[in-house]
Amino acid sequence: MAVYTEVGDEELEAFVAEYDLGPVLSCKGIAEGVENTNYLIHTSTGSYILTLYEKRVAEADLPFFLGLIEHLADNGILCPTPVHGKDGKALRRLCGRPAAIVTFLDGMWPRRIRTEHCAGLGTALARLHVAGQDFAMTRPNALTVDSWRPLLEASIPRAGEVQQGLSEILEKELGYLEENWPAGLPSGICHADLFPDNVFFIGDKLSGLIDFYFACNDFFAYDLAICLNAWCFERDRSFNVTKARAMLSSYRQVRPFSDAELVALPLLARGCALRFLLTRLYDWLNTPTGALVKPKDPLEYLTILQFHQAVAGPGAYGLE
């Protein structure tokens, strides 16, 4: 469940009155998601998403996030658009939290991922990367290789509770990545969290990208590697090369890869696997019993990491 902050009827009505949206007809908390409080609100003018930003999202980053999705939407990317109030502002406060209203997108995220979904995602991600190239604001990636060692050190003393020998595996892998992490690859705006539950489809047609609250500036191929890990492994954790080929081929039809990006892709995929393994491990060890949010299994990403460690080159992902 992702409703951390309860909003009373009077507070909601007063907040929405600051916009030209008409009166509130209904309001329902949205259970999916783990970072913020989200409500689906219906007014006389349509449906919208109200988000209250919780402590894990830095308030100083919110102008970047809201400005980015407005820029992307203006450039043809299917994503929510911030709604501006009567005073012209998109960001304000509700119940002591920063809050904003964005437009509602139709569609559902795919519970069973098919090759067509992966192809649509590849196209959409490439278009996002192209559309973000002239966005004026920047935000460094707070969860790239330089930030992984503090995460590791916070979890190493108890990593053996999850799997015996896990701390040694993680220490060795991080040392390798720190020593070999690439530099100078094509970079720009990245979503950095484009998991299936952040991508909506109507049938096989992609209808929207959501949840840009990890967006940042980083290597485009790093963003692509996150998607490769999140979309192309089956429930039994086996790698589906057909899905990977569909995603990567569709991506490069819009934005071609450089040779350096192709060479770096296996290493970046290892890094992305370690990044999510470490954040999941930390949450697994530190989420209180009975918490509303159930932590995700970090060992899923250990399997993914081990697959990429054995990859000799981009041919393993279906590319020539």
What average pLDDT does the segment 133-140 reach? 97
| Least confident residue range of 10-14, 103-107, 124-128, 315-319 | 315-319
pLDDT recorded at residue 36? 85
Tell me, what's the pLDDT at 32? 67
Rounded mean pLDDT, 291-303: 84
pLDDT digits over 2-52, tens only? Answer: 567 889 999 999 999 999 999 999 999 987 666 788 999 999 999 999 999
Mean pLDDT of 129-146: 96
- Residue 85 CA to residue 100 CA, distance in Å, equals 9
pTM of the complete model: 0.94
Residue 286 pLDDT level (bands cut at 50, 70, 90): confident
What pLDDT is recorded for position 287? 77
More confident residue, 218 or 289: 218
CA–CA gap between residue 90 and residue 103 (Å, rounded): 12
What is the chain written as a DSSP string? Answer: ----S---HHHHHHHHTTSSS--EEEEEE----SSSEEEEEEETTEEEEEEE--TTS-GGGHHHHHHHHHHHHHTT-----BPP-TTS-S-EEETTEEEEEEE----B--SS--HHHHHHHHHHHHHHHHHGGG-----B-TTSGGGHHHHHHHHGGGGGGTSTTHHHHHHHHHHHHHHH---S--EEEE-S---GGGEEEETTEEEEE---TT-EEEEHHHHHHHHHHHHSB-TTS-B-HHHHHHHHHHHHHHSPPPHHHHHHHHHHHHHHHHHHHHHHHHHHHHSPTT-SSPPP-THHHHHHHHHHHT--SGGGGT--
pLDDT at position 236 is 92
pLDDT of residue 295: 82
CATH superfamily of 9-103: Phosphorylase Kinase; domain 1 (3.30.200.20)
The label of the residue with tokens 């990491």 reads 305
pLDDT of residue 57: 85
**Residue 69 pLDDT > 80, yes or no?**
yes
Q: What is the pLDDT of residue 4?
A: 72
Average pLDDT (220-233) is 98
Domains 9-103 and 115-317 share a fold: no
The values of phi and psi at residue 77, to 5°, are -85, 135
At 119-135, the pLDDT tens digits run: 999 999 999 999 999 99
Domain ranges of the chain: 9-103, 115-317
Tokens of 266: 């296996």
Q: Which residue has the tokens 């006389």?
A: 44
pLDDT tens digits, residue range 183-196? Answer: 999 999 999 999 99
* pLDDT recorded at residue 292: 59
pLDDT value at residue 265:
96
Work out the pLDDT band at 290, boundaries 50, 70, 90: low
Q: Please state, rounded to an integer, the average pLDDT across all residues of the chain.
A: 94
More confident residue, 148 or 290: 148
Radius of gyration of the chain (CA): 20
**307 has pLDDT over 90:** yes
Q: Is pLDDT at 294 greater than 60 in this prediction?
A: yes
* Closest C-alpha to 269, from 221, 198, 217: 221
Whole-Å CA distances, 69 to 134, 221, 316, 317: 13, 21, 34, 30
Average pLDDT estimate for 303-312: 96
CA-to-CA dists, residue 1 to 4, 61, 201, 246, angstroms: 8, 24, 22, 33
Q: Which of 177, 275, 188 is nearest to 225 (CA)?
A: 275
Please state the rounded mean pLDDT for residues 163-183.
97
Whether the per-residue pLDDT at 217 is higher than 60: the answer is yes
CATH code of domain 115-317: 3.90.1200.10
For residue 127, count other CB atoms closer than 10 A to its CB: 19
